A and B are shown apart, each in its own frame.
Chain A
Amino acid sequence: MNGSSSNGMRRRSGKLTAETINMSHGGGGKAMRDLIEDVFLRSFDTQDFLALEDQARVDLSALTILGDRLALTTDSYVVDPIFFAGGDIGKLAVCGTVNDLAVGGAIALYLTCGFIIEEGFSVTDLRRIAISMKLAADAAGVKIITGDTKVVDRGAADKIFINTAGIGVIPQNINVGAQRAEPGDLVLINGFIGDHGAAIVGAREDLSIESDIESDCQPLNRLIESLLAVCPQVHCMRDATRGGIATVLNEFAISSRCCIKIDETAIPIRNEVRGMCEILGLDPLYLANEGKVVVILPREKASAALTAMRHDQAGVHSTIIGEVFNSPEEIVILKTAFGGERIVDMLVGDQLPRIC
């Protein structure tokens, strides 16, 4: 991992003894090297990539076999609280970036990770986060191959922030884009919406709500690979994170200049999530997800796609939730369970702060 450049041959492997992170762990000296070796390298899979160089080096020929376009994405994770039911900031940082690659049709391969750690942060928590990142990366079949660590003064950051960037390769026959929805297409989702947003709300101390809702934080790349295997013609695909499925559907409707109609009774929502939304006045359509993908594809492909999605553990509850129409352009309409219709617009502000 960069920030340190000697090859590490002459010295013993680093061992971190401190209980909390202090400024010296970001200072570039021995303390930082111990942190990197003992916490990160121990957890991550970096041997083949010269991790202690200033960059990871990847064999190009191995990439070009997989497709004809390189996909690159980055995302920063500042979720508060950092540990929540069903996940933590580390798992989120891996799944989020893997999913950003996967929804573009890319085969996710490698991640980088940058940590910004507040002075005083617990080393035990940091180890827990690093291990969680490793487990998530293994589950997704990706490797974390380089990274960076900075420590900032108390108060200059809140506990820990993580940035991950990811690269992947898009196979030749895949062409997913928000502008590609066509009238007649169907809209699919891979399961219950709003779990992540509701889990974060449930974990916030200031609300003191008791709930068993777990975040849906999960990598979607394997699910998407099986979907694309039976339906390479997928038109639009996006993971419904901040802003929920309402935001993603609006983005599709605007980019494709079409109308998307969804059916409230068809949208899978857990009772617990509905209950929490009722109490707090939240709309589950806008609640964040961290393991849900909204897919728009040609109608005749829907049944094969559903079968493939339901076969994957991230898609057991996959279902059709709506349909694409010509007009009114750039509008998302919800057919309410009550029998009426309403527009589902983009959210103006945040429903809740810092959910991912």
Chain B
Amino acid sequence: MKYVDEFRDPVLAKSLVREINELVEAIEFTRQRPIQIMEFCGGHTHTIFRYGIEQLLPKCIELVHGPGCPVCVLPMGRVDDCVSLAQRPEVIMTTFGDAMRVPGSKKSLLQAKADGADVRMVYSPLDALRLAHQNKNREVIFFALGFETTMPSTALTVLQAEADGVDNFSLFCNHITTVPIMNALLETPGMQLDGFVAPGHVSMVVGEKPFHFVAEKYKKPIVITGFEPLDILQSIWLVIKQIAEQRAEVENQYARVVASSGNLPALEAMDRVFELREFFEWRGLGTIEHSGIKIQNDYARFDAERKFPVPNVKIADPKSCQCGDVLKGVIKPWQCKVFAGSCTPETPMGALMVSSEGACAAYYNFGSLPELMALKLARQNQEALP
């Protein structure tokens, strides 16, 4: 397939891996521990597992799978709030397919739907707005979530709703922003990440500038990266090269899509509609300052949280769950106490098991490390015992 196969060429992959190996040999003599590179974005995690990229890399490179899956990091309390909105008889709740399965403390949206709530899957917030036009006597709420990748389409939909004079459409806004969470990770005591593969789609919107602090303040190499397997291999090579040459810069591997200044009309729409929340809770990571997004006062009539009472409950993450440590690269997913035992994709306990882009779910579904498979089977057998 044109424009796809070129980015998945196994021959090019081999030569990149060879070059990564050559670079790494020089670095290895000077350090004791593996080189840890975090891919921030869930889309990258998915590609890494889908193509088996980890097995192609030398043992001394460890990929740490970051918090960039918005479905995974959504706290249970917010899902509960969403379910409570969805259960109002006048409401049609709309959302993306992968948000339907995220468990709340009592139920997911999928379960709420089975119990009678009107929950519908859409492929774009504009589809939700169309539903609002078609159902004038109902309130259509769009369960908005995602990083800067999905924020522009939500913002434009609100602007469109305003232009259309629609009064039965609102957002349950759970958008989150990339920089504060990267900052929080970098500030974590004991953090030992050596470099970052930065999110390509977020960068397409925000541009290169927001990532400069990673290189300047924390002296970590960071490379904006596309989503095909060769993109990721090339970026790993670029990060390693920076480490070998003792540089720390923002580089743009995904220049075919990402302009250094980002997408200005998108940023402008986001700026008009959204503002930062003072605090927002992340599943597995706790509360992080200025990391969540809410709707500006000017657009308050499109804010479901202001239109309707929302329970706003806080539900603590399960104690046994070690998502935070996995996210920071302190442990690997399969080293978590509950991985593949009580925490599986069917019954996820932790954030990272929730969506197929979460690190734990990806390991569970796609991992082929022999120790992982042995552990998976052993834990399953354990579970089967009375």
Contact = CB atoms under 8 A, between A and B. Distances in A.
Interface of A: 206-207, 271, 274-275, 278, 328-331, 333, 336-343, 345, 348-349
6 contacts: A206-B127, A338-B229, A339-B56, A340-B54, A341-B55, A342-B366
B180 interface: no
A141 B50 CA distance: 42
A338 B52 contact: yes
B365 A343 contact: yes
B1 A342 contact: no
A127 B180 CA distance: 61
A337 B55 CA distance: 14
Given A207-B123, A331-B373, A333-B368, A341 B4 contact: no
Interface of B: 1, 4, 8, 10, 13-14, 49-56, 101, 110, 122-123, 127, 229, 345-346, 364-368, 370, 373-374, 377
Contact of A328 (B14, B53, B373): B373
A337 B8 contact: yes
A338 B368 contact: no
B364 A345 contact: yes
A274 B1 contact: yes
Contacts of A337: 8, 10
Nearest first, the 4 A-B pairs at minimum CB distance are A340-B52, A338-B51, A342-B366, A348-B345
A181 B122 CA distance: 42
Nearest to B7: A338
A340 B1 contact: no
A342 B4 contact: no
A330 to B, nearest CB: 8
B373 A340 contact: no
A274 B4 CA distance: 10
A327 to B, nearest CB: 10
Given A333-B368, A343-B365, 16 more contacts: A274-B4, A278-B4, A328-B373, A338-B56, A339-B10, A339-B13, A340-B52, A340-B55, A341-B55, A341-B368, A342-B50, A342-B52, A342-B367, A342-B368, A343-B367, A348-B345
Contacts of B364: 345
B288 to A, nearest CB: 28
B25 to A, nearest CB: 21
A275 B50 contact: no
A210 B367 CA distance: 35
A260 B363 CA distance: 19
A338 B10 contact: yes
A174 to B, nearest CB: 33
Contacts of A343: 365-368, 373
Contact of A340 (B56, B101, B365): B56
A110 to B, nearest CB: 36
A161 B364 CA distance: 37
B224 to A, nearest CB: 21
B50 A336 contact: yes
Nearest to B5: A337
A342 B229 CA distance: 14
A338 B4 contact: no
Question: Which of B8, B56, B364, B366: most chain A CB closer than 10 A?
Answer: B366
Nearest to B120: A206
B198 to A, nearest CB: 21
A348 B127 CA distance: 26
B51 A336 contact: yes
Given A275-B1, A345-B364, A349-B101, A340 B346 contact: no
Nearest to A353: B121
A342 B366 CA distance: 5
Contacts of A349: 101, 110
B349 to A, nearest CB: 15
Contacts of B8: 337-338
A271 B5 CA distance: 11
B1 A271 contact: yes
Given A343-B365, A343-B366, A338 B123 contact: no
A279 to B, nearest CB: 10
B123 A206 contact: yes
A339 B52 contact: yes
A339 B373 contact: no
Contacts of B56: 338-340
Pick from A271, A328, A338 the residue with the most CB of B within 10 Å.
A338
Given A206-B123, A275-B1, A340-B51, A328 B366 contact: no
Contact of B52 (A206, A207, A341): A341
A343 B361 CA distance: 12
Contact of A338 (B13, B122, B345, B366): B13
A207 B124 CA distance: 10
Contacts of B123: 206-207
A283 to B, nearest CB: 8
A275 to B, nearest CB: 6
Contacts of A336: 50-52
A274 B1 CA distance: 8
